[in-house]
Amino acid sequence: MAMKTFLDALREAQIEEMARDPTVFVMGQDTTSNIFGGATGMVEAFGLERVRDTPIAEAGMTGVGIGAAMVGMRPILNFGMSTFMFPAMDQIFSMAAKSRYLYGGQARVPMVLRGGMIYGAGNAAQHSDRPYSVFMNMPGLKIIVPSSAYDAKGLMKTAIRDDDPVLCFEDSALWTSRSDIPDEEYLIPFGVAEVKREGTDCTVVAIGAMVPVALKAAEQAAAQGRSLEVVDPRTLAPLDIGRILESVEKTGRLVVVDAAHERCSAASEIAASVASDGFWSLRAPIARVTTPMTHVPFSAALEEGLYPNVDKILAAVEGTFA
């Protein structure tokens, strides 16, 4: 067991899988230059054949990755920022997501698409999105949003071995966070949520970097006599609604915390599913703590107040007791 950062855990997962399986390779913009620190040691270990830089051409890079995956390779595409997936939307939606279905299972697309969500850092509108909910609407894609270094490693290893395209959204607010990582190998299955903190009064479902924020809110709520149960979905496609429903059945209340925009968000899907399948467990309306439907401003003073925080979560929880 050793304490490691979120980025180190992701790097370890890729290196271990590349050593285990010669069909795994990494490609992306600024990969060999290791711009965000997630590729340390890869070139030295595997050479430029398996650690490849690409031009600033996201659609082209994705098309190459899809082609490689369909002929037996397992590419890991590093987009740097998740917003850089937007120029590759046609390839992701029309080819990566649909090829296995269109070819009746004769083709598969085992690939991982990594994208960092760098918001709250004055990167303005084009570089600050949290776009996982956009991709939730497309069948054929799997989506992971780890909230800790431990989860990042286990989910990434599962993603690399999966036979479908997996999108990994990495919240930059977590990059330097640390977890104990076991020395022995472990994988985390998709579609299995985790209760990060047990509670009895209100369920708080939090996504990505909102999990540690929700845990802080739970600590403060405990001091005020409120017992919050914090649930981390870990994967958004597949989504473990069953575990969330079990928690809501116990607590009778639900607050969903999601740093993405509210409309058509992961928070909206979770709220709708609980309202549909767990209505009789609810003692109060469901609350969502999200980001308003506005583009992210360059001004740090304006951006600061947009995202969910401890105070907003606590206010939403109290609202369910009103």
Tokens of 174: 């977590």
Q: How many CB atoms lie within 10 A of CB 140?
A: 17
Cβ atoms of 208 and 232 closer than 8 Å:
no
Q: Residues with Cβ < 8 Å from 143, sequence gap 6 or more?
A: 132, 135, 136, 166, 167, 169, 235, 236, 237
Please confirm, yes or no, whether 127 is among the known catalytic residues.
Answer: yes
C-alpha closest to that of 68 among 19, 11, 25, 16: 25
Q: State how far the Cα of 257 lies from the Cα of 262, in Å rounded to an integer.
A: 10
Query: Which of the residues 11, 50, 127, 288 is marked catalytic?
Result: 127
What is the distance between the alpha carbons of residues 308 and 291, in angstroms, rounded to a whole number?
Answer: 7
* Rounded distance between C-alpha atoms, residue 160 and residue 113, angstroms: 10
| DSSP code of residue 96 | I
Q: Give the span between the Cα atoms of 308 and 310, in whole angstroms.
A: 7
The answer to whether the beta carbons of residues 28 and 57 sit under 8 Å apart is: no
Inter-CA distances, 159 with 13, 68, 111, 135, 187, Å: 10, 16, 8, 16, 9
Cα separation, 138 vs 93, whole angstroms: 7
Nearest to 13 by CA among 21, 312, 204: 21
Q: Specify whether the CB–CB gap between 158 and 190 falls below 8 A.
A: yes
Q: Kind of pairing, strands 166-171 and 112-117?
A: parallel
Residues noted as catalytic: 127
